[in-house]
Structure 1
């Protein structure tokens, strides 16, 4: 650490020693009102500052040559100003245009929705905001856990939204489904995401009441939009103890096509797990290989064709003391392959028509092997229950195809009509091999959907989105009609009230359909009331919701749709980029009251993944003069329920033990020092380091029980803390501009 701080000091002093000049200026709006906390920085440089309460700023620029100053402020259109060394004798006056005058009408889709894109900057989270939340590992979905409505489930990947399971929150890329966003599940250990977060330019996180264009999700939809053409050609490299990767992105000279490839490898078992001891007894990995390829071509001034493919390999093996015996060990190993591809096309047609079309294909193959071992690590077979189910192998293969076409027509007065169709094909095979059981099951599913949706701008204060979706399943032999409505009323220039209602259906998971093909759709009905205030770098959002569940999957006696339940609550989100200079923070609070009868629950219970109170705080600061970025995130939740449910001889489930875990809290920090290795390379480099669970809290997510109920073991983190430090570099594109823009 001393060496690192000395390096920063020497670099900073060397920069001061170079020929420099001071530029002063003032930033105001069109009403000549000063703008506080506006961001000013030199393009493709780490040098930057912000305005004071009077709108004034000072910035040091090199004396040689002219430089571009980028000025931005939330709620205003960004501006670029060319400055020269002789401008040091002047005070530059910069006037920013009020973006609110362009986007001042009421906005639909507020209830239940968080928008993260350049257009919504300051109102919610941008992609850069999302991936720099401390402790999320650059996983876009994990970053959404810093928002209200999402539970902090540390032992499993995915989003648990408003009382729903992670399987009820689906992800979409460029309009079509992304069925396996994370690597294959390992009991009690969260798995990482498959895709690069910088692939996306827009994030739409619907915690409820989402559009009729999407389906097959009871709780929420995370809608991701990939970037179009990159601004420049670039190459990237990162070297961390647990992960290494490289890639390049080439933009053609005519700026009409681009191509990119990346390769990443991660194996914590080689080095990291030997330094930081793990509670889980890993005998392999966790090992992950990820490679992706993209190709993009502009077909016209308004049209673009994009192709993206991702391949992933995983291999994780771990062993632990068997809970049902004294001297035996249970081992679990999973390894497999996953290939995802996505082809999308977008074009503006004549007379304000537009077409969006996409098709995705996903193939996954996963092998799981479980076994019992004695003290000499020899595999042993015991034919009585529950030991008989602890030896065996399982293989699953899944082919998934999703295609969608959306046509939209924009009319005068900001009225829009969208309609289209969707097709999904699934081919699933599962094989089981246990000492006394051999089996194979399979099914083929063809599902279709049709949808229509209209945006009605009734006046500047009142707008509505009305949609209808029809879904049909060949396997379930059912047709569903689902209405969805959102209404928004603008109370004033900075305040808005929104309402949303919708019905949502979801097919059972393949693991249940393989055992019972006569199941029904599960159903959820959403009711949402939303208030939000967006006033110059401060954003407040409050939301009430209620969800009613029907036909949930239950396994109490046989696999069926006997489950039901509800979820209701209140959520609060506040983001402030104004009160403290150079500081960006947001606070999130959720209250959740939910009960379900599903799975093997004998009656409606609080789910084991849900807790009534969840609080989070995310803080970010970028220090332009030092090229240094610091982030912190803190979570607190009340305890989660746990149960030991035992099946009686007559098949009835009975709760043998129940309780609540202790309160959960976690403090995560991350830092990055940014620099350039060579001006000729035009690189953006840095050293990143951080720590999860700084306080060393023993986090208990639940308990595993022995078959007789006499023993229980806590489900905890593999290690109390997680550390990382490493080097990253991008050649050709200086991403300092992104970081400064998103953090000031």
Structure 2
């Protein structure tokens, strides 16, 4: 299974709802963000620029060190399946993890990478987990005008993410009134958005439903599904300008999923073990941006989410959990001459969990408060610095943490720049470990990053080296404690070229990492099972104007990952490693093709249609991500893909705006 409940919108939004890289935005004049008079007068501009990995502009900021993506970049990588986390695996620093959702960045687990939408944490960006089968993103990447992937050393404005921050900025007023519809064998999607005649407000709603039962009956799967997989999702939004110097935005997402399956019982090969999970989730985000006189700006936002999960497992019993999460946040910015600025603010996180976990009652309440400040300082015409810090207090841990952050950018020339960053990043342990152990402390990672970038003539190159030191990692053996340690070091390369070949855009990445950890049940410092020493990707996008067809191909490679069979400690005996090894290398080719046309050529209403087809793991290469072991160590099961390949074919339609020119323009840049 390779698709979430919203896959019906994958091609719809990609091609129909269009190339939001050409969205028209009318934003207030603001010296803090270098807005010009012509923008204030309402002229159109592109708000989603090309991908910028590292320093696309001269500033020591998240955009200067991270990887800035447009939605088109994110979802046109073959194999991304409309999932930002999967798309970002085509960039350096991210591991090719095929058995679990989330981002695994530079030796960090998936829980150490967080997503923020307009400053508000997206607590659960994916549907509830299923062992060995990644679940999919709840939020559509086309909601955003900015997607910033920072793999280390990010701003003091964000916290509770030891490895990585995915910073998302939602779009403002919709470009036009339009509707869209898509139909794939197992997925259906429909959407509508309206822009007010005066251009000062807009709203929209989308619905999607997916049920994989029919598909799985045609394409055999390794697990035997007795429920679903099925996904139902909807979202709505409105945006309204508040005068000529501000905007108010609201977004809500609600969804449900059900997955039930059986697989061979690892402890008894003659039996099958059942696992099922049902999830209900809602996410709400209200944000306001307001500009004041004398170069002041305020960003205020609030969010609330609710998650209910019901898990039934033959191995781990029953779990029924309700989680309430709320966040309030305010950031104030004061601008000065030469693009210098100071920012300061505070935020509060509220988390409450109640219910049953593995057949026992549990409960947790945590109030986490944070204050932060940072300044942009231009030291010379060619050198800029960002210096700040962040203080946090957790009521559940009853502890304080202070995290200094600093970064420096030095411009070597019109196209070349050096960047360096340092920072300390804290994170509270997962809730399941805090139910009975409030004595646990923060986990900590210290980042050191240096890179070089070259950006000229539609060609981009970045080389980056880093070192991370971990302290206070969670250990479960021999006793539960935040006493684990580790480190990660390596280097990365990224090259993107949109100039050499006509109508062709490609990029190449390579990542090397050397990392070890002593955490969870690891009896010593070990290379973690989710980290491959060598990874690389090649993404190619070719547009054929005469055929109105776009072909996307991606290839991903990763060297083998380590695996272990660890016997837990018992009595006075320490845990031991019974078996260890390395998996076969990971290698996968993905192919997506989109044909652009119009099914209603005689209609007076502008429309745009097409056909999308795709194959993930085109060559059917067997992927082994690791092994599960029986309690006595005598049996093991390979963790593999549910099926060798995933296929899709479908149609998509859009009314209100003909997006073909937008799409072609994007490909011809």
1:165-314 → structure 2 map (5 Å cutoff): 165-269=109-213, 271-314=214-257
Q: In the superposition, relative to structure 1, how do residues 255 and 351 fare at CA in structure 2: closer, same or farther (>3 Å)?
A: same
- Give the deviation of 1:172 after TM superposition: 0.3
1:5-24 → structure 2 map (5 Å cutoff): none
- Give the deviation of 1:684 after TM superposition: 1.9
| 2:293 corresponds to which of 350, 354, 359 | 350
Long gaps (5+) in structure 1:
1-43, 47-76, 80-99, 117-124, 372-389
- Give the deviation of 1:45 after TM superposition: 12
- What residue in structure 2 maps to residue 685 of structure 1? 609
Give the paired residue count.
617
| 2:94 corresponds to which of 150, 154, 170 | 150
| 1:655 corresponds to which of 550, 557, 577 | 577
- What residue in structure 2 maps to residue 397 of structure 1? 322
CA deviation string 1:356-403 (max 9, x = no partner): 0111111000000013xxxxxxxxxxxxxxxxxx26211111110011
| 1:543 corresponds to which of 447, 464, 467 | 464
- Give the deviation of 1:284 after TM superposition: 1.2
Q: In the superposition, relative to structure 1, how do residues 559 and 735 fare at CA in structure 2: closer, same or farther (>3 Å)?
A: farther
- What residue in structure 2 maps to residue 426 of structure 1? 351
Q: In the superposition, relative to structure 1, how do residues 113 and 685 fare at CA in structure 2: closer, same or farther (>3 Å)?
A: farther
| 2:385 corresponds to which of 454, 464, 467 | 464
Paired residues of 2:62 and 2:154 also in contact (CA < 8 A) = no
| 1:132 corresponds to which of 76, 100, 108 | 76
CA deviation string 1:495-525 (max 9, x = no partner): 1001000000000111111131111000000
Structure 1 residue ranges, 4+ long, deviating more than 6 angstroms after superposition: none
The separation in 2 between residues aligned to 1:138 and 1:399, in whole angstroms, is 27
Paired residues of 2:56 and 2:64 also in contact (CA < 8 A) = no
| 1:106 corresponds to which of 54, 58, 67 | 58
Matched, 1:674 2:596: yes
The separation in 2 between residues aligned to 1:458 and 1:199, in whole angstroms, is 36
Long gaps (5+) in structure 2:
1-16, 20-35, 39-51
- Give the deviation of 1:469 after TM superposition: 0.7
Secondary structure in 2 matching 1:327: strand
Per mean C-alpha deviation after superposition, the further-off stretch among 137-146 and 671-680 is 671-680
1:285-684 → structure 2 map (5 Å cutoff): 285-371=228-314, 390=315, 392-432=317-357, 434=359, 439-650=360-571, 652-678=574-600, 679-684=603-608
CA deviation string 1:607-627 (max 9, x = no partner): 000010001000001122221
Paired residues of 2:152 and 2:447 also in contact (CA < 8 A) = yes
The separation in 1 between residues aligned to 2:316 and 2:338, in whole angstroms, is 66
- What residue in structure 1 maps to residue 49 of structure 2? none
* TM-score computed with the length of structure 1 as normaliser: 0.81
The separation in 1 between residues aligned to 2:281 and 2:520, in whole angstroms, is 28
Paired residues of 2:127 and 2:279 also in contact (CA < 8 A) = no
CA deviation string 1:129-171 (max 9, x = no partner): 1111001101122111000000000000000000000000000
In terms of Rg, which structure is larger? 1
The separation in 2 between residues aligned to 1:391 and 1:640, in whole angstroms, is 27
Q: In the superposition, relative to structure 1, how do residues 258 and 655 fare at CA in structure 2: closer, same or farther (>3 Å)?
A: same
Per mean C-alpha deviation after superposition, the further-off stretch among 243-252 and 671-680 is 671-680
- Give the deviation of 1:685 after TM superposition: 1.3
Per mean C-alpha deviation after superposition, the further-off stretch among 591-600 and 478-487 is 478-487
- What residue in structure 2 maps to residue 53 of structure 1? none
Secondary structure in 2 matching 1:224: strand
Paired residues of 1:642 and 1:702 also in contact (CA < 8 A) = yes
Paired residues of 1:238 and 1:726 also in contact (CA < 8 A) = yes
CA deviation string 1:268-322 (max 9, x = no partner): 01x1101111011111111111110111111111211000000010100000111
Paired residues of 1:111 and 1:528 also in contact (CA < 8 A) = no
CA deviation string 1:471-492 (max 9, x = no partner): 1111111111111001000011
The separation in 1 between residues aligned to 2:146 and 2:18, in whole angstroms, is 25
- Root mean square deviation, CA, Å: 1.9
Paired residues of 2:470 and 2:486 also in contact (CA < 8 A) = yes
Paired residues of 1:150 and 1:159 also in contact (CA < 8 A) = yes
CA deviation string 1:542-573 (max 9, x = no partner): 00000000000000122111211000000000
Paired residues of 1:110 and 1:530 also in contact (CA < 8 A) = no
The separation in 2 between residues aligned to 1:165 and 1:413, in whole angstroms, is 40
Paired residues of 2:63 and 2:148 also in contact (CA < 8 A) = no
- Give the deviation of 1:706 after TM superposition: 0.9
- Give the deviation of 1:330 after TM superposition: 0.4
Secondary structure in 1 matching 2:555: strand
Secondary structure in 1 matching 2:576: strand
- Give the deviation of 1:738 after TM superposition: 3.9
The separation in 2 between residues aligned to 1:364 and 1:730, in whole angstroms, is 33
The separation in 2 between residues aligned to 1:433 and 1:180, in whole angstroms, is 20
Secondary structure in 2 matching 1:351: coil
Matched, 1:708 2:629: no
- Give the deviation of 1:740 after TM superposition: 2.6
Paired residues of 2:453 and 2:462 also in contact (CA < 8 A) = yes
The separation in 1 between residues aligned to 2:80 and 2:430, in whole angstroms, is 27
- What residue in structure 2 maps to residue 739 of structure 1? 663
The separation in 2 between residues aligned to 1:334 and 1:105, in whole angstroms, is 45
- Give the deviation of 1:676 after TM superposition: 2.0
The separation in 2 between residues aligned to 1:637 and 1:563, in whole angstroms, is 27
CA deviation string 1:418-444 (max 9, x = no partner): 11010000001240465xxxx211111
The separation in 2 between residues aligned to 1:405 and 1:445, in whole angstroms, is 20
The separation in 1 between residues aligned to 2:202 and 2:540, in whole angstroms, is 36
The separation in 2 between residues aligned to 1:400 and 1:738, in whole angstroms, is 39
* TM-score computed with the length of structure 2 as normaliser: 0.90
Secondary structure in 2 matching 1:167: helix
